[in-house]
Amino acid sequence: MSDMQAEVHPRLDFDSEMEILLQTQRPLTRSALLMERAGTQMGLDKDAINELISPQQLIVFRIPCKILGQVVNFWGCLCLHNSARGPFKGGIRLAADITIWETTELARLMTLKCAVCNVEFGGGKTGIRVDIPAMYELFGRTPRDLEFEKIITLDAVEYYSQNFRDMFSEHIYIPAPDMGSGPDEMAFIYNETLDPASVTGKPEGVHGWLPGRKESTGVGVAYTACRALREILGKDTEGASVAIQGFGNVARPLAQSLVGNGVRVVGITDLYGGVYNAEGLDIEALLEHFAENATVGGFAGGQPLANEALFSLDVDVLIPAASGAVITSDNAADIGADCIVEAANMPTTVGGMETLQERKIPVVPDILANAGGVIASMLEYSSSLSAIKPAKQEVLDTCCKKIGDNFNLTIEKARTENMSLVEAAVTIATQRVYEVMKHRRML
């Protein structure tokens, strides 16, 4: 174990038997380690730190879904991490590799994200283990068929929302999209509750939808990346180079917004392929290619690019905008970028972070950089209740302003207290959650 890990290692005697059984706290996550360190600096006792780190409720479920006449059982979990500052809020992730540990970490990140951006929500998350390649095998299908994939995700979310309808309707947990789900799936949740404030990320036209919600996460990440370029790297955004992993809900508007700011997006990869162009990719043409092929692979406006090669590209900023744990102790030494802006949730592991720190490559944390989505969700929630619809630009401006204000605080804390940006952001968030828990006598 490294010095940094040893220094911030939460005490093993914190774990209740149930947590050991459910594996919510092992292996230790970056946020748990940093919350432990923040709590210790704040002079909190071990029980208070444990309450801050641990989930308040964890529900593990199986949902039988009838898909194309066949019953398929999906496994999943709903983690309600912390509701001190507001209702549990967090996306629904559909993926083949869902675990309780990961879902708990993602819920914890939502608690920290809402706190560091001053959004009045708590943190939650749903993970449903949906293995799309296995579904092709089960139903004897080839080749790739987007309609078939949509039937599976919509059915999974529909059955899931039937199970948890009351929780959504009572605004105990308010879901949103995450990897593998999007506005279409959120419309199905609305169909269950008929309450526009029970779910955010609804598609255009569905009662309570919000202009700009679809683009908000990506635009917020682009705003953060531009500020990192200027204020951390001291570079002009015009002509700066960026590489992005992923081309999903977050990465598509992110790439558009970066190009709108004069940035060259030189490389993009997704699950099925990748593309590189040193002059900067034509993102509008790439979006057209993606609409037809559902991958950036095969795009004529560049050369093929493998995922591993994306990480070692010599660029100003690398933006992981796909899945978690992609920058690890195995590949952090090969990162070619001068700065990392985390669009995905927890893309950098503890080991990866240590290597990047040694190499003095700054990391702008997920809880700040990708907070645009939850900030827009805050507006979608409140406008659903009031029936007042803000304009798209107003929504995007609010996202950037809230991220910007708290980015300023984070940079300031990191500089004055000699911390990394990640440590500073987690410390600010932990302090805010702790104070409310104290006021509410939750501690």
Please, which residues have CB within 8 angstroms of residue 150's CB and are 6 or more apart in sequence? 184
The reply to whether 270 sits near ligand NAD by the rule CB under 6 A is: yes
Report, in Å, the least distance between residue 254 CB and ligand NAD: 9
The reply to whether 381 sits near ligand NAD by the rule CB under 6 A is: no
The reply to whether 56 sits near ligand NAD by the rule CB under 6 A is: no
Report, in Å, the least distance between residue 290 CB and ligand NAD: 9
- Taking CB under 6 A as the criterion, the residue among 245, 277, 348, 427 binding ligand NAD is 245
Tokens of 28: 């230790």
Q: Which is nearer to ligand NAD, 156 or 250 (CB)?
A: 250
The reply to whether 273 sits near ligand NAD by the rule CB under 6 A is: no
The reply to whether 217 sits near ligand NAD by the rule CB under 6 A is: yes
- Are the C-beta atoms of 24 and 58 separated by less than 8 Å? yes
Q: Which is nearer to ligand NAD, 241 or 323 (CB)?
A: 323
Part of the chain binding ligand NAD (CB under 6 A), chosen from 2-10, 135-143, 228-236, 266-274 = 266-274
Could you give the angle at the alpha carbon of 369 between the alpha carbons of 367 and 251, nearest 5°? Answer: 120
Report, in Å, the least distance between residue 269 CB and ligand NAD: 5
CB closest to ligand NAD, residue no: 248
The reply to whether 179 sits near ligand NAD by the rule CB under 6 A is: yes
Could you give the angle at the alpha carbon of 117 between the alpha carbons of 111 and 118, nearest 5°? Answer: 85
Name residue 276's beta-bridge partners: 267, 303
H/E stretch holding 55 reads: none
The reply to whether 193 sits near ligand NAD by the rule CB under 6 A is: no
Report, in Å, the least distance between residue 189 CB and ligand NAD: 15
**How far is residue 277's CA from residue 38's CA, in Å, rounded to a whole number?**
42
- Are the C-beta atoms of 172 and 178 separated by less than 8 Å? no
From 66, 89, 113, 125, active-site residue: 125
H/E stretch holding 74 reads: strand 70-82
Q: Which of 104, 80, 95 is nearest to 27 (CA)?
A: 104
The reply to whether 307 sits near ligand NAD by the rule CB under 6 A is: yes
Part of the chain binding ligand NAD (CB under 6 A), chosen from 45-53, 57-65, 241-249, 428-436 = 241-249
H/E stretch holding 109 reads: helix 100-116
The reply to whether 322 sits near ligand NAD by the rule CB under 6 A is: yes
Q: What is the chain's Cα-based Rg? A: 21
The reply to whether 111 sits near ligand NAD by the rule CB under 6 A is: no
235 is catalytic: no
The reply to whether 269 sits near ligand NAD by the rule CB under 6 A is: yes
- N- to C-terminal Cα distance for the chain? 31
Contacting ligand NAD within 335-374 (CB under 6 A): 343-345, 370, 373
Tell me how many residues contact ligand NAD (CB under 6 A).
25
**How far is residue 32's CA from residue 38's CA, in Å, rounded to a whole number?**
10
Count of all residues that appear for the chain in the document: 443
- Taking CB under 6 A as the criterion, the residue among 104, 323, 355, 427 binding ligand NAD is 323
Residue 399 carries which DSSP code? H
**Sheet of 339-341, strands arranged across:** 303-304, 273-276, 264-270, 241-245, 317-320, 339-341, 363-364
**How far is residue 428's CA from residue 328's CA, in Å, rounded to a whole number?**
25
- Taking CB under 6 A as the criterion, the residue among 177, 211, 212, 273 binding ligand NAD is 177
Part of the chain binding ligand NAD (CB under 6 A), chosen from 150-158, 257-265, 316-324, 428-436 = 316-324
**How far is residue 339's CA from residue 356's CA, in Å, rounded to a whole number?**
9
The reply to whether 246 sits near ligand NAD by the rule CB under 6 A is: yes
**How far is residue 183's CA from residue 202's CA, in Å, rounded to a whole number?**
5
Q: Which is nearer to ligand NAD, 94 or 259 (CB)?
A: 94
The reply to whether 80 sits near ligand NAD by the rule CB under 6 A is: no
**How far is residue 331's CA from residue 42's CA, in Å, rounded to a whole number?**
34
Q: Which is nearer to ligand NAD, 157 or 419 (CB)?
A: 157
Beta strands per DSSP E along 116-179: 122-129, 173-177
Q: Which is nearer to ligand NAD, 49 or 114 (CB)?
A: 114
Part of the chain binding ligand NAD (CB under 6 A), chosen from 3-11, 152-160, 318-326, 426-434 = 318-326
Q: Which residues are catalytic?
A: 125
Residues that bind ligand NAD (CB under 6 A): 177-180, 217, 245-251, 269-271, 307, 321-324, 343-345, 370, 373
